[in-house]
Amino acid sequence: MKLPMALTVTTLELPESALSLLQEVGTVEGPEGWESRLDRAEALIALLTVRVDADLLARAPKLRIVANAVVGYDNVDVAACRERGVVVTNTPDVLTDASADLALALLLATVRKLPQAERSLRAGEFHGWRFWDYLGGDVGGATLGIFGLGRIGQAVARRARPFGMRVQYHSRSRLPAQTEAELGVTWVDWDTLLTTSDILSLHAPSTPQTRHVLDESALRRMRRGSYLINTARGPLVDEAALARVLADGHLAGAGLDVYEREPAVEPALLDLQTVVLLPHIASATPRTREAMARLAARNVHAMLTGRPPLTPV
Ligand code: GLV
């Protein structure tokens, strides 16, 4: 069924494959001036930088679907959308591998101090191979704690084991014993995760319940000399407290891809050599980004042709 008048407003530049799908069922406008087009929009393709709240919804009376072109949807007031009958979708699965690859790369870079070594070389400090120079930590034999064992957490667990890491996890819900056995992971309570992990990697969504789960007291309960990796969402960690806990050497290092108030980064972190800072790039490969955009478009396409969306939240 073709509904030529259905307008999709997009907040991102869409690849041809997504655009042509949407043009089968209507017109597409944006990203230029997308906000001024909301009053006519039946579908909105959003990003984590777009706050979809009651105020935006009030400006979009015809809206039927918000297709977030990312997997996390903490930028969307899902309850407000439900109240107005607006469907919300996200992009699970298509970014799992890229995100898990990046998490593991960041983990290795942080523990082995790769950015520090590279900065040193560029500064002309590499004077030939020296026995005791540029030492980092070991991942083989380390206990990796994973907080949040959803799709990405599981993909990280799968990647960690061949490196010789022992993997334990804490999650909102415990996985079936068979899945735990297949992944080779052990469930532990939150306190055990904090106090016995050598490396703690976060893979839980940002919700009121997970806000600052790593506050100063939790950070100080982590093992002395351990590492924190956050590729999930910034608000899980109290960033100012993290800077203090790194500065006094309680934690050996941290690798961050996400921040509490993006694009701002806690200034105290920028002064620390033991922290590796990435600009929120976990899913940033062309193939993955195209798949994310296409899945968002497929959700809109389904909705506008009277079918159930593929990946509702
Ligand atoms: C990126 O952060 C995502 O949620 O997809």
Residue 251 lies in a domain: yes
Which residue range is the domain that position 296 belongs to?
A: 7-94+286-304
Q: Is 230 found in the same domain as 290?
A: no
Question: What is the full per-residue pLDDT of the chain (313 aa) written as tens digits?
Answer: 545 579 999 999 999 999 999 999 999 999 999 999 999 999 999 999 999 999 999 999 999 999 999 999 999 999 999 999 999 999 999 999 999 999 999 999 999 999 999 999 999 999 999 999 999 999 999 999 999 999 999 999 999 999 999 999 999 999 999 999 999 999 999 999 999 999 999 999 999 999 999 999 999 999 999 999 999 999 999 999 999 999 999 999 999 999 999 999 999 999 999 999 999 999 999 999 999 999 999 999 999 999 999 999 9
- Structure tokens given for 159: 């990647």
Distance from C-alpha of 65 to C-alpha of 89, rounded to nearest angstrom: 8
Is 192 in the same domain as 237? yes
Name the residue at shortest CA distance from atom 1 of ligand 1.
Answer: 70
* The predicted structure's pLDDT at residue 25: 95
Check residue 4 and give its pLDDT: 56
Q: Are residues 78 and 107 in the same domain?
A: no
> Please, are residues 149 and 203 in contact by the beta-carbon 8 Å criterion?
yes
CATH number reported for the structural domain that contains residue 23 in this entry:
3.40.50.720
CA R_g for the chain: 22
Tell whether ligand 1 has an atom less than 6 A from the beta carbon of residue 46. Answer: no
**Cβ of 71 below 6 Å from ligand 1:** yes
Do residues 83 and 120 share a domain? no
Tell me, yes or no, whether 243 and 160 share the same domain. yes
Domain-located, residue 312: no
Same domain flag for 115 and 260: yes
Q: How many CB atoms lie within 10 A of CB 284?
A: 15
Other beta carbons within 10 angstroms of residue 227's beta carbon come to 27
| 273 and 291, same domain (yes or no) | no
